[in-house]
A and B are shown apart, each in its own frame.
Chain A
């Protein structure tokens, strides 16, 4: 497998490519770099999470707000834990759902143990086999911003598998604040009642 790009470079590329407004839902190892960069009030750091549930969670948001692109950043370990969610996403036909797979080959937040199946699991083929209209891999040397712009511009639900370099000293996965309060603040923005002081 390619060594891939850094998680920080991926986050920067998502921010450069995303339309606005849009919703980004990072989870697990993507949360820390997103929070360090500064989350948009439209975004939700799904942590604490139920592992494997970021795609169904984002799907629910996408179905409820079909006017907004909704992008989940999920690890390969999380996705293989719940591959059936790709069938669910296909059937629900949320045209605004985008999935970015942070494919670092490890369970980063638990210390870097290998993900089950490893390189033998072709998540692009799985996504296509589950009926997703679009699924691609970021090839070695390709510009991630270009690939992510294509992802957001796709006509229908789409997945981009991005090889990401695992790190030896990943920060612990911690919620960036009280979970229920963060959720309620974000929910109020989505329903058109943003809390006072929210940009």
Chain B
């Protein structure tokens, strides 16, 4: 199942993103998915704030970015999820997670999320995002913020 279909099936209304070389391949699929709006932002911190505003109106956004952008956006994520308690969900590509290469971008992903008290789960690498649907469904049912980590190769 492609990323657009998986998100749409889970009830996602907006994908707020900055693409990376792996997840960016899904731009066309996201743009043509009925009922889903793709929103590009200029910098990652904007994504969490924009998603917080969408959530306030009843929309169900999914934030998508690479782990390096996640680190950049930490204050905005903290504000949305910890200050305001918004149950936002994010799909984060983890650079070099599949290569075993020594890369702080990969090795910091889990410690970063633990520091933010955010639950997370790993997806399988590849082009089938069907597992994402159930994960987003569960996070929404529990009304909890959650991050889904997508293992990537080198940038």
Known contacts A57-B49, A57-B50: A84-B57 contact under CB 8 Å:
no
Which of B2-10, B40-48, B131-139 contacts its partner? B40-48
Contact of A53 among B14, B54, B57, B79 (CB under 8 A): B79
Q: Is B52 an interface residue (CB 8 A)?
A: yes
**Beta-carbon contact of B76 and A64 below 8 Å:** no
**Beta-carbon contact of A88 and B50 below 8 Å:** yes
Q: How many residues of A contact B (CB 8 A)?
A: 33
Known contacts A64-B59, A190-B58: A56-B50 contact under CB 8 Å:
yes
A-B contact count (CB 8 A): 106
Which of B81-89, B109-117, B120-128 contacts its partner? B81-89
The residues in A between 28 and 58 inclusive whose CB is less than 8 angstroms from any CB of B are: 44, 48-54, 56-58
**Beta-carbon contact of A64 and B42 below 8 Å:** no
**B interface residue count range (under 10 / 10 to 19 / 20 to 34 / 35 or more):** 20 to 34
User: Please, how many angstroms separate the alpha-carbon atoms of A184 and B55 in the complex?
Assistant: 11
- Scoring B57, B61, B78 by chain A CB atoms within 10 A of each residue's CB, the highest score goes to B57
- Contact string, A56-68, partner B, CB cutoff 8 A, digits 1/0? 1111111111000
**Beta-carbon contact of B54 and A60 below 8 Å:** yes
Residue numbers in B under 8 Å from A92 (CB-CB): 39
Binding site for B on A (CB under 8 A): 44, 48-54, 56-65, 82, 84-85, 87-88, 91-92, 179-180, 183-184, 186-187, 190-191
Interface CB pairs A-B, < 8 A, 20: A44-B56, A48-B79, A53-B48, A54-B49, A56-B50, A57-B49, A60-B49, A61-B56, A61-B57, A63-B14, A63-B50, A64-B54, A64-B56, A65-B57, A88-B39, A88-B42, A183-B85, A183-B86, A187-B57, A190-B58
The 5 closest A-B pairs by CB, nearest first: A60-B53, A64-B57, A84-B42, A53-B49, A180-B85
